[in-house]
Structure 1
């Protein structure tokens, strides 16, 4: 093989500036790549961009790769089509876990790479499918970044962009300009946006805000869990029936539980009506009385606080009426329009995938009729042949919107349905278990209330959760006399949330039985 002197071919061997962008669908990664290429070419550089699309919007991000360098002596540059590990100067990640994936791919190196990342999260399928908390730990990314990157710029660029009516690509372009890692001035960046012709004003506002944000504070602290924010009780709502509920919260319950109770009341008024929220306060008041009678003051009323939280969740259960109600709300259509960036002159149609079963239909019927049907399994099986199949529902059409709207209008009769009767029966049994445990083991009783988080959703999801709930509380007699009983019940609950099949729970229950 004969060696070739590449300099004699008229090609430049200079090392280009290399930029990798990791973005998901709808985040404007392609626009950002085009802006960077346009910026380089406007400033006399030669630039090239390529992209490798991900599998789907949230199972794999698209990687846009850009190389640029100034022309030299009339020689054409040799530019790569893909980023090479250890050879990337700038990485732009439009979501925080994508920053972590860029490190795993070797695109971020401590000797050369500036990492610019948004700290917001768009959860992956593997995170959402976990029964419990399957969210990846962003602190792991932070630790890796401190070692892997030469420099990091990180803050919530998604929130900043939304504040100024733009998309995250504008904020990332501003952060890139402020990082001073490209040999171009701020005005050159702005001129590229102005030449775009679409959404110029909003994009410029987001660009400037991100630019100033990096200059003032280039990096935000990151935590796994978002801080809990509870609204303070308002002086008045302007509605006498709602003001009466607020007055009950102020006068009948301890300060530590009032914010949670207010959140619960808002949830249940939205779910049903003020009378239903009043029933919620009645139940919590009875539990609070028992809390006070069994040393609740010394425990900062932890039992009352847990009751306020989990009772509201239990009473606002997911049923067909609730699902239909949420899908036809104007606020939902507006939120979807904002998320996908619909323009004023564009129409948006949403397609919902629904797979109802006769169980859901029966649960929506009045209690007597529902029980009559359940007692006739052959009839139910015959009807299920017509009901139990997947449907793609276009809520932008009159037919399907009207159908869902009619189902949502069944809210006034919800308390007469078979599903409601069963939910309230299960709720009463759960509270009885907590109250029976309270005199003997206060901390364990609090954990009994917390086990309600295992029950969620409807259909198969609800059935699996309820089965795990029952299995966890079967261990209660073995734990009630133990000082560490609360700790063990908490472990059982966490094990139940680890997998759908309940394999981890099986092992945890065997451990408890051996104590």
Structure 2
């Protein structure tokens, strides 16, 4: 540990009240380390500093609030410092995630006459955002807009990305941004000395600190504009004869505007099953394009085929236990996680997966005939479900569990023979048949029928709930044919189905639709 001599204290007349800093950070973001660095820097400068923390409720239902107050000594007396931030009385708010900055504004910690806001613009989604069946991600734009007038000065940029580029953690970048803000009257060397005194990950932390210090002097980021980049061109060859055959079909049988989505679908299905399965996808798409052209879809930019290209690939790559086992045992997954957490070669990482299979999933992995036989024995299924339907903590770093999942993943070549596959194909055929019939009478409504497939996702209970909503929404299609704004009505039903897990919004929307047509 490097010994650092304290600097000359700032004169007592410089500050007549404590300087206060509130830090909002989640688990794993180094909020405690950042707090310790701030206290160490203040003490090296001869100030008196005090820190406290109040933990959040859980990982993403509330961040931990770390609070630091500091003041130069006066006449040898030790000041009385507060334990928690007070609304309207905070000099610096440092938020390690952008929505935490918004919460700080709502709490009144950020004020235009006093507060410097230091916030990372990246997002770590809250439980409420992840839990919605549809897109529940809150927009960052209101926080950007509010920071313009809510704070005296705002330093906003993607600190997480800057930390990763420098091989460190976000707390080091935030410390650099705090030093670069000029709010604390200490030289840069004092901040760097605090990092060195910590003794762990010093060099990466100093690099990230320096990057944050330099970035703080530049203008704050504004709300990102919507991504309008054109999709990358579809290659004509990847050097594998079987895959090149699929590319030849994409380029030869489909219009240029549809090729990027078809290419994405082919990649997904080849990875999911095999080349032949991706070929079946293109066969279906060729027939749907022919229908699209007969209905004059070219004038609409082949909207019918474009929607089918996306959602048919998603439907054919349904989540089953084989897919889950395959993804959890891939070497690329372990490599990605090692990189994300910064694991060194001399360290071991063990992951625990929580899995809760039901007897329905077990039956779905049986050959079709055997699975149907079990379904005709409800008493036996209930008995076996008692042994199967319980949570398990699967340690994929252990040989036994890894081999068990690997054996399940090895069932992939036999997937087409299994009961679950037969059921999924029946469901897909019914959905496409409805879209095809509808397209012959109402093209726009048929496009919305295809988009409704986004209601079906996940596996186990999540899949069952989504499929039930999907069936309820599509049951309204016959009654919408020939009605004004039929496509708009189906789109509103789909939006309602995605609004909540219980389906209350969908039930209300269906009642509204019924009353509207009665009137």
Give me the CA root mean square deviation.
Answer: 2.0
SS at 2:123 equivalent: coil
Is the contact between residue 498 and residue 504 of structure 1 (CA under 8 Å) also seen in structure 2? yes
Instruction: Kindly indicate whether residue 146 of structure 2 is the aligned counterpart of residue 144 of structure 1.
Output: yes
1:314 Cα shift?
Answer: 0.5
Residues 1:239 and 1:213: Cα distance change in structure 2 (over 3 Å): farther
Q: Take 1:376 and 1:370, find their aligned partners in 2: how far apart are those partners?
A: 10
2:378 is matched with which residue? 377
| Contact 1:317/1:456, CA 8 A, preserved across alignment | yes
Alignment of 1:115-134 (within 5 A): 115-134=117-136
1:420 corresponds in structure 2 to: 421
In the TM superposition, residue 483 of structure 1 has moved relative to its aligned partner by 4.1
| 329 and 100 in structure 1: CA distance in 2 versus 1, 3 angstrom threshold | same
- Provide the residue aligned with 1:436 in structure 2: 437
What CA distance in whole angstroms lies between the structure 2 residues aligned with 1:339 and 1:24?
Answer: 16
**Contact 1:307/1:449, CA 8 A, preserved across alignment:** yes
**Partner SS state of residue 195, structure 1:** helix
Residue in 2 that maps onto 1:315: 316
Q: 1:16 to 1:344 in 2, by over 3 A?
A: farther
Structure 1 CA distance, aligned partners of 2:449 and 2:76?
Answer: 76
Spell out, residue by residue over 1:409-454, the C-alpha distance to the aligned partner (whole angstroms, 9 max, x if none): 1111111111011101100110111111112211111110000011
| TM-score normalised according to structure 2 size | 0.93
Aligned match of 1:156: 158
Tell me the CA shift for residue 482 of structure 1.
2.7
Q: Does 1:481 align with 2:467?
A: no
Q: Offset at 1:485?
A: 0.8
Unaligned runs of 5+ in 2: 1-11
Poorly superposed stretches of 4+, deviation over 6 Å = 225-229
Q: Is the 8 A contact 2:144 2:222 kept in 1?
A: no
Aligned residue pair count: 504
Q: 2:85: which partner in 1?
A: 83
Partner of 1:447: 448
Q: Secondary structure at the match of 2:70?
A: strand
| SS class of match (2:89) | coil
Higher alpha-carbon deviation: 445-454 or 234-243: 234-243
How far does residue 197 in structure 1 lie from its aligned partner after superposition? Answer: 2.5
Q: What is aligned with 2:206?
A: 204
Tell me the distance in 2 between the aligned counterparts of 1:230 and 1:266: 15
Measured in 2, the distance between the counterparts of 1:186 and 1:156 equals 22
* 1:487-506 equivalence runs, <5 A: 487-506=488-507
The CA deviation at 1:95 is 0.6
CA distance in 2, matches of 1:238, 1:412: 24
Question: What corresponds to 1:15 in structure 2?
Answer: 17
Pick from 57, 60, 63 the counterpart of residue 62 of structure 2. Answer: 60
Q: Any idea what SS the aligned residue of 1:136 has?
A: coil
CA contact (8 A) 2:236 2:248 kept: no
What's 1:468 paired with? 469
Judge which range, 429-438 or 495-504, deviates more.
495-504
Q: Please, which moves more after superposition, 274-283 or 354-363?
A: 274-283
Instruction: Identify if the C-alpha distance between structure 1 residues 318 and 359 changes in structure 2 by more than 3 Å, giving closer, same or farther.
Output: same
Provide Cα deviations, 1:53-85, integer angstroms capped at 9, x if missing partner: 112221211111111122233222221111111
Distance 1:359 1:154, change over 3 A: same
Matched position secondary structure for 1:50:
strand
Deviations 1:355-411 (A, max 9, x none): 111100000111111111111112212221211111111111111111111111111
Which piece of structure 1 moves more, 23-32 or 40-49?
40-49
Aligned position for 1:44: 46
Please state how far the C-alpha of 1:44 moved relative to its aligned partner: 2.0
Q: TM-score, normalised by structure 1?
A: 0.93
368 and 56 in structure 1: CA distance in 2 versus 1, 3 angstrom threshold: same
Query: 202, 217, 221: which one pairs with 1:219?
Result: 221
CA contact (8 A) 2:496 2:509 kept: yes
Q: Distance in 2 between matches of 1:214 and 1:276?
A: 52
Residue 105 of structure 1: aligned partner: 107
After TM superposition, give the deviation of residue 232 of structure 1 in Å: 3.3
